[in-house]
Copies of this chain bind each other. A is one copy, B any other.
């Protein structure tokens, strides 16, 4: 993918690819006319092939999902650290796809939610395996922990997107690169060394939930 920008693709595919890029760069508010122009066709043809703007987006969802499913993102959450880093450095190829997914997530769209749910499950499996192997600490609620960690990852992507100036076109290659540079060190510090030097806060909370004070209404 990404190798053929020109007209050697069927128009339907060209429109779909242009739509993925436009949706990813500008969000789903982007105009059918803009997408059509990017694909070098008329607005009417877009509707002719996809029925409606919603149909076009559904086609994009399916297309992106198929690619991601095929290329399996599990390597991102791979237990082998070096493999993860190596993979991240080549992630630029997936940038337009990632942009589309993040935008879908930002809006609460079905594709973003589906992929996020899969990530939650992957993280849970990974943690369970690591716990069995003795690399991961046990949790009082492994399912909640998995969702929590996955939400941290997806959420930080949404934040990184929010930090970009509003209407500007977003370069997601650089975006993802900066994201890893920004978050990798503190994340690993936190995962390996924790944050607090004692368990005071945790114990206070455990007491709080097992015996909630009356003052809370």
A-to-B contact residues, CB < 8 Å = 81-82, 85-86, 89-90, 105-109, 112-113, 116, 130, 134-137, 139-141, 144-145, 147-149, 151-152, 154-166, 182-202, 204-205, 208-209, 213, 215-217
Contacts and interface: CB of A to CB of B under 8 A. Distances in A.
B89 A216 contact: yes
A137 B109 CA distance: 39
23 contacts: A81-B200, A81-B205, A89-B216, A106-B158, A113-B162, A130-B196, A134-B197, A135-B197, A136-B195, A136-B197, A137-B197, A141-B186, A144-B182, A147-B182, A148-B182, A148-B187, A154-B159, A158-B158, A185-B205, A191-B201, A192-B198, A192-B202, A193-B202
Given A137-B197, A148-B182, A158-B162, 14 more contacts: A81-B205, A86-B215, A105-B162, A107-B162, A108-B164, A112-B162, A136-B196, A139-B189, A147-B182, A151-B183, A185-B209, A188-B201, A192-B194, A194-B194
Contacts of A109: 166
A194 B191 contact: yes
A195 B152 CA distance: 14
Contacts of A144: 182, 185-186
